[in-house]
């Protein structure tokens, strides 16, 4: 697996009050962490599949998680959500995935879960952001890792393409 969240980004996530989860350890370690942190429901999901033309059934634990927000764009998050989703759980993707991801619709049907994307903002969202910025009720300075003057725009964009060294890159227009 080549996609992971590096230790620097994890420290910032935890500093902001989030739960840092590094995927370097692999899928089994991620699921174990989630089971220990959030707990497991008493029931079990049974993942249906096909192998050599025969129906297979794979039991999976059901994580006690209502909402997953994918900010990293790591394909295994979607797959593991589908394997371990509790009834009516929600998956919201605000990250960019670099390729197509398979979705098994029978798993959506059997868990009645929702998959949502986030492409833009509604007027209410923009008003809330402006209000929070005006009140300085944000942690924006903590996620800005780089700031460049306008004349260094090329370097700013180059830096922004390196997730291991940059979280948010600001291009100062003044």
What residues pair up with 10 in beta bridges, in sequence order? none
Average pLDDT estimate for 105-130: 83
Closest by alpha carbon to 1, among 62, 114, 56, 80? 80
Average pLDDT estimate for 80-99: 83
Instruction: Give 23-77 pLDDT, tens digit per residue.
Output: 777 888 888 888 888 888 876 666 666 667 777 677 778 888 898 888 777 778 8
As given in the structure block, the two tokens for residue 26 are 């692999």
DSSP H helices in 16-122: 27-38, 75-84, 105-111
């Amino acid at each position: 697996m080549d996609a992971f969240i590096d230790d620097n980004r994890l420290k910032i996530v935890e500093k902001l009050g989030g739960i840092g989860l590094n995927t370097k350890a692999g899928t089994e370690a991620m699921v174990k962490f989630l089971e220990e942190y959030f707990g497991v429901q008493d029931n079990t999901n049974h993942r249906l599949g096909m192998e050599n033309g025969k129906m297979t059934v794979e039991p999976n634990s059901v994580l006690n998680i209502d909402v997953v927000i994918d900010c990293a764009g790591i394909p295994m998050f979607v797959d593991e959500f589908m394997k371990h989703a509790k009834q009516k759980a929600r998956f919201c993707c605000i990250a960019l995935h670099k390729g197509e991801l398979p979705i098994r619709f029978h798993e959506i049907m059997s868990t009645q879960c929702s998959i949502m994307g986030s492409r833009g903002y509604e007027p209410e969202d923009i008003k809330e952001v402006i209000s929070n910025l005006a009140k300085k009720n944000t942690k924006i300075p903590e996620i800005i890792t780089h700031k460049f003057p306008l004349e260094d725009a090329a370097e700013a964009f180059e830096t922004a393409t390196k997730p291991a060294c940059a979280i948010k890159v600001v291009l100062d227009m003044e």
